[in-house]
Structure 1
Amino acid sequence: MRVLHPSTFDSSTEQGVLRLSIAASFGVAAIAVAFGLYANSSLIIFDGIYGLIDVVMTWLSLLVVRLISLSTNVDALQSRLNQRFTMGFWHLEPIVLGVSGTLMIGAALYAAVNAVDALMSGGREIALGPAIVFAVISIIVESGLALFVRRANRSIGSEFIALDAKNWVVAASMSAAYLVAFGGGWLLRDTDWAWLVPYIDPAILLVVCLFVVVAPLGTVRQALSDILLITPVDLQAHVDEVARGIVAKYGFIEHRSYVAKVGRGDQIELFFVVPANDPPRQLVEWDQLRDEIGEALGEESTDRWLTIMFTTDREWTI
């Protein structure tokens, strides 16, 4: 029987949501660049550049998601890909998230410098009509996509999609700032405050850049923690609690645990020191004990790398 592949933009799958986000991001970015050049607005051009960076990083996120999915597929365990990357692809997830957040911060800092330069040089004259039209279109599209992506991620629970939803919220907030700024400039054109109009574009760009710099900091921090294999305190505590129970139940001497979180993957290594005079057990009994420990640690998942070893020599636990 032939199995049909899910739709390219299936909102119930991580890859489908990311594909939809890529297509929407590219369309919004292209419109932003066109309107920005036409209106001579560095603010709108930055919005387009921000969107293009998001397109590239979301595409990389989609690639990593697919690689992780392939590596955890039992039917593909003997594939050439899995033979070359026997430890899986979980390590790519925090790298992509970290690079994505860092690029966003870098682009914002560069735009902020340009905004300061424009403010010190007398501002920038822009075409307010096209700028206002763009702001309205952007708010509608980006707010709708932010809500859609967030709702889709309730059942998926993906870090990639969560970051993508955050990016759409940031984009919609930026567009709202554009609308306020350009609308205010439109009202001030024929007043005594008309001299402020050229400063509106770079001033709001500077404010937006400061906001964009702050938004990805949490994601970058978590990605760096995963890359450096910093042990999650709560996961370590849970693993040690389960291991201490096993030691007490079976009369083992002690245990050693090594825990790390890499992207969506939990990596756990447990070593139990068994007394040298412990009664011998058949291999099937040791396997049953491993199953007991695995169940106590929590529901088995393709995103968990669990190693359990038993030894009489403490040196093997170091």
Structure 2
Amino acid sequence: MSNNISEEKKVLSFSVFAAVAFAITGIILGYFTRSQIILFDGLYSLVSVVLSFLSVLATTFIGKKDHKRYPFGKDIVEPLVIILKYSVILILVAVSLAGAIVSILNGGREVALGSALIYSGVGSFACLGAYLYLKLKSKSSGSSLVKAESNQWFMDTLVSFAVLIGFLLASLLDRNTRFSMIIPYIDPIMMILISIYFLKLPLAGIRNALGEVLEMTPSGKLPNNIKTYVKNMEVKYDMKESFVRIAKVGKTLWVEIDFVVKDSEKIKTIADQDKLRQELSDYIKTYNNNEWLTVSFTNNRKWAV
């Protein structure tokens, strides 16, 4: 197992243990304080535990080399796991949103503000610390799974700070009897606002992961930059034309290039072809070290289209 996979497992394991602590605390306090949003925070952390453990299993599976059974690697596992993770989060958010709406229709919900404030204060900064740690690790590892974990903690951090702000507001209103009728509605209203915001990130994550499963051209400047470089190589080596196909699945960038050659071709030998391949590989590696590059040469266009 490579060092990258081993480090990835350590980071994901940290996320699992941290999520367990938040889940137990949130569910217990959410039940006793009768706060729907704290209960949601705990349930979200509990779901995160299962999903984080799934990420650890996926990373272990990907890290085991088995080229005979998986000649093209196992990168497809990453986006499949991400789709599953975000789908589960969407279901949790939808159920919580429906519960908050029902709560408002039934006259709101009384909450034990003192305990809720302590939990939200400690939880907010603890979540923020976990999120910043995972965000740093996701940038250094380039792992889609660690990035998904980071996004989960980002969402949990938003919930925790929204809870903190809401309960601070409720505490201020509680000191003035004129606003006491508003207090039971603060908890479900916060739940509705957070749920609406939460819908955005999972939907975007599922869309991006589906793009990888379907092997769509990745977004951003990368595809155009590679195509421009290939065009320059086409001119440099006096080719007729070239065709470039690019996809990103998990950590691997798949690049397939077909050159249609001329009779006056500057590429005379296989060694010349390999030299061109090396130039292309060196360039692509500036964007992604995990590239899968295929370069073909033909003088019949039908084999390239």
TM-score (norm 1): 0.83
Residue 228 of structure 1: aligned partner: 214
Aligned length: 302
Distance change >3 Å, CA 270–CA 113, structure 1 → 2:
same
| Structure 2 residues not aligned, in runs of 5+ | none
Distance change >3 Å, CA 205–CA 306, structure 1 → 2:
same
1:12-91 aligned within 5 A: 13-70=7-64, 76=65, 81-91=66-76
DSSP 3-state at the match of 2:294: strand
1:66 CA displacement: 3.5
Amino acid at match of 1:177: A
- Structure 1 stretch displaced more, 35-44 or 169-178: 169-178
Distance change >3 Å, CA 187–CA 245, structure 1 → 2:
closer
Distance change >3 Å, CA 294–CA 144, structure 1 → 2:
closer
Amino acid at match of 2:243: R
RMSD over equivalenced CA pairs, Å: 2.8
1:186 CA displacement: 3.8
Matching of residue 257 in structure 1 with residue 244 in structure 2: yes
Q: Could you tell me how far apart the structure 2 residues matched to 1:242 and 1:27 are?
A: 50
Residue 192 of structure 2: aligned partner: 206
Distance change >3 Å, CA 147–CA 302, structure 1 → 2:
closer
Residue 105 of structure 1: aligned partner: 90
Q: Could you tell me how far apart the structure 1 residues matched to 2:34 and 2:168 are?
A: 16
Distance change >3 Å, CA 276–CA 141, structure 1 → 2:
same
DSSP 3-state at the match of 1:167: helix
Amino acid at match of 2:112: A
| Structure 1 residues not aligned, in runs of 5+ | 71-75
Residue 219 of structure 1: aligned partner: 205
Q: Could you tell me how far apart the structure 1 residues matched to 2:267 and 2:182 are?
A: 85
> Structure 1, residues 161-183: CA drift from partner, whole Å, max 9, x if none?
33323332322221222223334
1:309 CA displacement: 1.0
Q: Percent of counterpart pairs with the same letter?
A: 27
Conservation of the 8 A alpha-carbon contact between 2:237 and 2:266: no
Matching of residue 139 in structure 1 with residue 133 in structure 2: no
Q: Could you tell me how far apart the structure 2 residues matched to 1:196 and 1:160 are?
A: 41
Residue 290 of structure 1: aligned partner: 277
DSSP 3-state at the match of 2:199: helix
Q: Could you tell me how far apart the structure 2 residues matched to 1:253 and 1:68 are?
A: 40
Distance change >3 Å, CA 17–CA 117, structure 1 → 2:
same
TM-score (norm 2): 0.86
Residue 174 of structure 1: aligned partner: 159
Q: Could you tell me how far apart the structure 1 residues matched to 2:157 and 2:20 are?
A: 15
Q: Could you tell me how far apart the structure 1 residues matched to 2:266 and 2:158 are?
A: 66
Distance change >3 Å, CA 188–CA 295, structure 1 → 2:
closer
Distance change >3 Å, CA 133–CA 297, structure 1 → 2:
closer
Matching of residue 305 in structure 1 with residue 292 in structure 2: yes
1:42 CA displacement: 1.7
DSSP 3-state at the match of 1:207: helix
DSSP 3-state at the match of 1:309: strand
Distance change >3 Å, CA 180–CA 245, structure 1 → 2:
closer
> Structure 1, residues 6-39: CA drift from partner, whole Å, max 9, x if none?
8x9x8xx332211111110111011111111122
Conservation of the 8 A alpha-carbon contact between 1:258 and 1:270: yes
Q: Could you tell me how far apart the structure 1 residues matched to 2:283 and 2:117 are?
A: 58
Matching of residue 126 in structure 1 with residue 111 in structure 2: yes
Residue 179 of structure 2: aligned partner: 193
Q: Could you tell me how far apart the structure 2 residues matched to 1:212 and 1:317 are?
A: 44
Q: Could you tell me how far apart the structure 1 residues matched to 2:238 and 2:163 are?
A: 67
Q: Could you tell me how far apart the structure 2 residues matched to 1:37 and 1:279 are?
A: 75
Conservation of the 8 A alpha-carbon contact between 1:226 and 1:261: yes
1:306 CA displacement: 0.7
DSSP 3-state at the match of 1:238: helix
Q: Could you tell me how far apart the structure 2 residues matched to 1:249 and 1:187 are?
A: 72
Conservation of the 8 A alpha-carbon contact between 1:269 and 1:307: yes
1:302 CA displacement: 5.5
1:41 CA displacement: 2.0
Conservation of the 8 A alpha-carbon contact between 2:142 and 2:251: no
